[in-house]
Chains A and B, each alone.
Chain A
Amino acid sequence: RKEVEQDPGPFNVPEGATVAFNCTYSNSASQSFFWYRQDCRKEPKLLMSVYSSGNEDGRFTAQLNRASQYISLLIRDSKLSDSATYLCVVILGFGNEKLTFGTGTRLTIIP
């Protein structure tokens, strides 16, 4: 089983729609969780951290479910500029600060 798994997509969503992605992780001891976005042929950029209580940043909402070992990202009122690959990232912690990336979920917003 992969350490971090995502549905690769692609998700083709009309502009203005709401879209959600999930990501599962295998190590129940994992401590930190993030969503990054990666545009084509570019480096990943931090979108948001994911906190146990869930957190929101504008149109983006991230949630963590430790019992089921998954995190989610919800994008409301999607914009054309949201088209990208969204990467789920997990850090084990306890001195191991290695970022473990999922393969990413590709999102295309259609006009």
Chain B
Amino acid sequence: GAVVSQHPSRVICKSGTSVKIECRSLDFQATTMFWYRQFPKQSLMLMATSNEGSKATYEQGVEKDKFLINHASLTLSTLTVTSAHPEDSSFYICSARDNTASKTQYFGPGTRLLVL
């Protein structure tokens, strides 16, 4: 089946630093990727839709200047959490939508971010 990877899987950083998370579709092309955040015991919340070669579309309440998204190729999208604070600690999950007719979304394994 299709595989999506995320890197890093876990990161601990100091407050005020920036953290970059990569999402890669390993065996298919994805014009569209999605970034989600999940706090403990809550559902996944879509943060933004990342489109290759164009600006990301952010959901209401998500600061685009704080969560920078770059989708430079058909297999890679990055999310940078700038000036991270403890409240940004969460489980960040990406998904990549297959460009074929099925348009199935495949999830990455997630990145657990802890900001001290």
A residues at B contact (CB < 8 Å): 4, 8, 41-46, 87, 97-104
Interchain nearest-CB distance for B105 vs A (Å): 6
Are B109 and A103 in contact (CB-based, < 8 A)? no
With A41-B112, A42-B109, A43-B109 already in contact, the answer to whether A99 and B103 are too (CB < 8 A) is no
Report the separation of the CA atoms of residues A104 and B42 in the bound assembly, to the nearest whole angstrom. 8
Report the separation of the CA atoms of residues A59 and B5 in the bound assembly, to the nearest whole angstrom. 30
Interchain nearest-CB distance for A57 vs B (Å): 15
Are A43 and B93 in contact (CB-based, < 8 A)? yes
Q: How many residues of B contact A (CB 8 A)?
A: 21
Interchain nearest-CB distance for A95 vs B (Å): 12
Report the separation of the CA atoms of residues A101 and B93 in the bound assembly, to the nearest whole angstrom. 13
With A41-B112, A43-B110 already in contact, the answer to whether A87 and B43 are too (CB < 8 A) is yes
The listed residue (A43, A98, A100) touching B49 by CB distance below 8 A is A98
Are B108 and A99 in contact (CB-based, < 8 A)? no
Report the separation of the CA atoms of residues A93 and B88 in the bound assembly, to the nearest whole angstrom. 30
7 of the cross-chain contacts (CB-CB < 8 Å) are A8-B41, A41-B110, A42-B110, A43-B93, A43-B108, A44-B107, A99-B105
The listed residue (B43, B46, B107) touching A104 by CB distance below 8 A is B43
Q: For residue A45, which residues in chain B have a CB less than 8 angstroms away from its CB?
A: 107
Are A99 and B34 in contact (CB-based, < 8 A)? yes
With A97-B103, A98-B49, A99-B105 already in contact, the answer to whether A44 and B97 are too (CB < 8 A) is no
Q: Which residue of B lies closest to A2 (CB)?
A: B43
Q: For residue B77, which residues in chain A have a CB less than 8 angstroms away from its CB?
A: none
B95 adjacent to chain A (CB < 8 Å): yes
Are B46 and A98 in contact (CB-based, < 8 A)? yes
Q: Which residue of A lies closest to B40 (CB)?
A: A41
Q: For residue A4, which residues in chain B have a CB less than 8 angstroms away from its CB?
A: 43
Q: For residue B49, which residues in chain A have a CB less than 8 angstroms away from its CB?
A: 98
Q: For residue B110, which residues in chain A have a CB less than 8 angstroms away from its CB?
A: 41-43
Interface pairs A-B: 10 shortest CB-CB: A43-B107, A103-B43, A101-B43, A101-B44, A43-B110, A43-B109, A43-B93, A44-B107, A98-B46, A102-B43
Q: For residue A87, which residues in chain B have a CB less than 8 angstroms away from its CB?
A: 43-44
